[in-house]
A and B are shown apart, each in its own frame.
Chain A
């Protein structure tokens, strides 16, 4: 069933919001409006891409994560770590050191989620054979892209690969591993360290699944600070637990651009950054581009290395991760312990990897009823004749087109437009006080006379 509301990790702090137009201008789904001097989010439209978070000049947009201390409610506290975490640090800090500090700050186990990509690849090949008509198959790795397709490209939901992400497979694996050791399920806490907001939303209200296996999500920048502080304070060589660096190069590179593409069969393309993704999906939807077997689509520039919660410069992160991958390739000996262990659970994981059909939830329709929608569209076009097409944002919407839509959807009024106000004042049909009162409703206290 299509739920009416979705969990959003991106939140707007009203006290901090100064009411400007930065966020409304960059939102790729026109999900933000300014009212009473504050930004407001249309929850059904937001895909948690984080573009607003990046541009907010006063950090009023934040990513709501779980309290770190809740990990201590569990006897077994597993940190599910994305490969990009390691890439945040300078090269003189080793993977082992980072692992050690994660244990030192309270986790009992550390697991890099990309260990599971081999199993996912196997399941993908199987999925491809079973779904020969879906072309191109689109990866569900990036949750912002999945949500974007649901709201903006409903015709393409059938192209999504209905398999769990490496994170969910990792959670499934670790839970199974520990419960088979006789550990009570209730004593296991699985915590994901996230590089972006979309992954939080994906855990809190998963698409294609009823409930996620993940217990909680902690922001990567928060953990980064904790780790860095500890390393600075205890000295660089400190290493509490000896743990082998076992992730292979495929796993290390998976979350970077081309990570999936380079491991897929047939003609595959990798596209990163949300506007690039939108442009490309437009062409795929119209079949302007065909004959592609697989699409890796990531909302962030440089993929997860550019996640909104990462601390490092994304290009340096990519550089470090590529070096790590190279060294993993050079030192590749026998099969690692982790991959041997994982292999034991392969059948179990593959049997539990499917997710249910992902439903479209188009945000674009003006009305369920087509004749009503046609009437509204006609009205919108009429309104557009009056609006200045300057896209100034003074009405609180990003563009004149968006305002026209809001007017026919009865969320706004044509007199919200400053150009219309001036014309009405000139014609004597609106007083200056009325116009100021209008602006006050949109921009709040900024219109108080000092």
Chain B
């Protein structure tokens, strides 16, 4: 089953709407609550990243009996050093973003912690593609 959601750059007030819709779907599919929580936490972090850093993007969600694959594709500055971005506490977020309670530099590590598989492809000046996989059964 396939779902798609648009993410608008800088729209923090709506960051989280895709993850809450996905959450509802997963509850309806009788996925256990611990797994749902992992998926939603990972997706929310990823969604906020796109809102905060990119020019906008799309979430593609593919759900099968075995797994959920979430691909967040954005156009934007890209990540110059992915391994550094994976370190806890490393953040390039602006002071304004931090003031809103985002940008603590825990995003990617937290996604990795909650996902079964995380792949990041990024091209500086073009955009980033984050692929999150979580097993459902």
Contacts and interface: CB of A to CB of B under 8 A. Distances in A.
A337 B20 CA distance: 52
B25 interface: yes
Contact of A154 (B19, B24, B33): B33
A118 B1 CA distance: 52
Interface stretch (B36-44, B74-82, B84-92): B36-44
Contacts of A373: 28-30
Interface in A345-391: 360, 362, 364-371, 373-374, 377-378, 381
A449 to B, nearest CB: 41
A7 B27 CA distance: 25
Q: Which of A288, A367, A371, A381 has the most CB of B within 10 A?
A: A288
The interface centre, meaning the residue of B27, B36, B37, B64 with most chain A CB atoms within 10 A of its CB, is B27
Given A288-B44, A371-B65, 7 more contacts: A285-B23, A364-B24, A366-B28, A370-B136, A374-B64, A377-B29, A378-B1
A155 B33 contact: yes
Contacts of A371: 65
Interface residues of B, number: 24
A381 B29 CA distance: 13
A365 B137 CA distance: 16
B28 A364 contact: yes
A366 B20 contact: no
Nearest to A291: B101
A154 B64 CA distance: 22
Interface of B: 1, 16, 19-20, 23-25, 27-31, 33-34, 36-37, 40-41, 44, 63-65, 136-137
Contacts, number: 64
A287 interface: yes
B25 to A, nearest CB: 7
Contacts of A154: 27, 33
Q: Please indicate which of the listed interface residues B24, B28, B33 has the most CB atoms of chain A within 10 Å of its own CB.
A: B28
A374 B65 contact: yes
Interface of A: 154-155, 282-283, 285-288, 360, 362, 364-371, 373-374, 377-378, 381
B41 A366 contact: no
Nearest to A401: B24
B137 A370 contact: yes
Nearest to B110: A287
Contacts of B40: 285-287
Contacts of B63: 374
A366 B30 CA distance: 7
Contacts of B33: 154-155, 360, 362
Contacts of A286: 16, 19-20, 23, 37, 40-41, 44
Interface centre among B29, B63, B64 (most CB of A within 10 A): B29
B70 to A, nearest CB: 14
Contact of A370 (B30, B34, B37, B44): B30
Contacts of B20: 282, 286
A362 B27 contact: yes
Contact of B34 (A155, A288, A377): A155
Given A365-B30, A373-B28, A377-B28, A283 B16 contact: yes
Given A286-B19, A286-B44, A377 B31 contact: no
A283 B19 CA distance: 10
Contacts of B29: 365-366, 370, 373-374, 377
Given A286-B41, A287-B44, A377-B1, A155 B36 contact: yes
B71 to A, nearest CB: 19
